[in-house]
Amino acid sequence: MNELAIDTKDLSKSYASVCAVGGINLAVPRGSIYGFLGRNGAGKSTTIKMLLGLVRPTGGSARVLGLDTLGEHIAILRRTAFVSEKKTLYPSLTPSELVRFSRGFYPTWSDSAVEKYATLFEIPMKRPFGQLSNGNQTKVWLLLALCQGADLLILDEPTTALDPITVDQLMHVLAEDALDRGCTVFFSSHQIEEVERIAEYAGFIDRGKLLMESRLDDIKSEFRLITAAGNSLPSQTSSQVLSVAAEGNFCRYVVTKDADGFAAELSQSGATITNISPLSLREIFLQLVRKEQ
C-alpha cells in the first residue's frame, strides 16, 4: 500500500499565460496532519481542486490515497471529505436537510458524529443555511466533512469566519478524533499559528511553487537566527544564508543548514556571536517568501 495519502509529481496548472501552480511535488504521509501554507493567491486552492478533480491539471500527475486523480476521482471522492474555500451551500436547506442530502453518498457516514459535532459546534440545525452567520456556515461545512468517516480530510481555509473558541474546538477535533481514526488531514491556511499548533508536516507554497516541505520539527530545527557583532561582517546571502540584516556593528543572519558551522566561521573571522536562536514558523515562512521574491 502506498504510504502517501497525497503524492504529486510536477503537478501544474496554467490559465492562458498565467501559471497558477508550477510543477509542485507534494508528499503527504498517511495518518498525518499536513499544513499547506501560502499567501492569498499562492495556488493552494487550485492545488486542492486538482486533487479533487474539480480542475484538470495542465501538467504532471497526482495520486490521492494511492488513486489517480484523473482516472479514479470518484473512488477518491468516496473516501475524501472536503471543506471548500467558498463556504456557500444551498441557502434554502437547513443543516439537518444538508445532512440528509449528504448522508446517502457515503456508506461510512456516521449519524452519531452528526449529533456530537452539531452539539459541540452549537449549530442551529433547523435554520436555513442562507440565514446562518458566516461562522455557522463554516461550521456546517465542517460538520458535513467530519461525519463522512473519510480517510482523508481536505480542508481549504477551514477556520474562515470562526471565532477563537470554535477554532480551538476544531483543532482538538482534528488532532484527536481524526487522527484516532487514522484519518489524514490536509489543510490549507494562511494562519501560520494554526498550522504550527497541530500540524506534523508543513508545506510552503508561493506563486505556485512549493518553497519547502518537511516535518515541522525538521523545518524548525533547520533554521536559526544568528546575531553577530564585529567589524566587516559578511553581508552576502548564499544558499546557506537566507537573509542578512545589518545594524551598526551587529548583523542578524537567517541561516539554513549547519548554523553552528556558519557561526564557527564567523567567530574565526573575528566576529562575536551574541545569540543563536530558533525561528518561529512565521519567520521561516516570511524569510522563504522574501528570498523567492
Cell digits of residue 95? 443543516
Shorter beta-carbon distance to other proteins: residue 107 or 164: 107
Closest contact distance (angstroms) between CB of 67 and other proteins is 12
Closest contact distance (angstroms) between CB of 194 and other proteins is 22
Q: Where on the chain is the footprint of other proteins (CB under 8 A)?
A: 49, 52, 54-56, 74-75, 77-78, 80, 82, 84, 86, 88-91, 93, 97, 100-102, 104-106
Shorter beta-carbon distance to other proteins: residue 86 or 127: 86
Helix (H) or strand (E) holding 193: helix 192-198
Closest contact distance (angstroms) between CB of 245 and other proteins is 43
Closest contact distance (angstroms) between CB of 214 and other proteins is 29
Closest contact distance (angstroms) between CB of 263 and other proteins is 49
Shorter beta-carbon distance to other proteins: residue 102 or 160: 102
Shorter beta-carbon distance to other proteins: residue 80 or 256: 80
Q: Mutual orientation of helices 95-103 and 134-146 as an angle, nearest 10°? A: 20
* Integer Cα distance of 206 and 44 in angstroms: 9
Shorter beta-carbon distance to other proteins: residue 94 or 287: 94
Please check whether residue 38 is in contact with residue 45, taking contact to mean a CB–CB distance below 8 angstroms: no
Cell digits of residue 186? 490536509
- Tell me the Cα Rg of the chain: 22
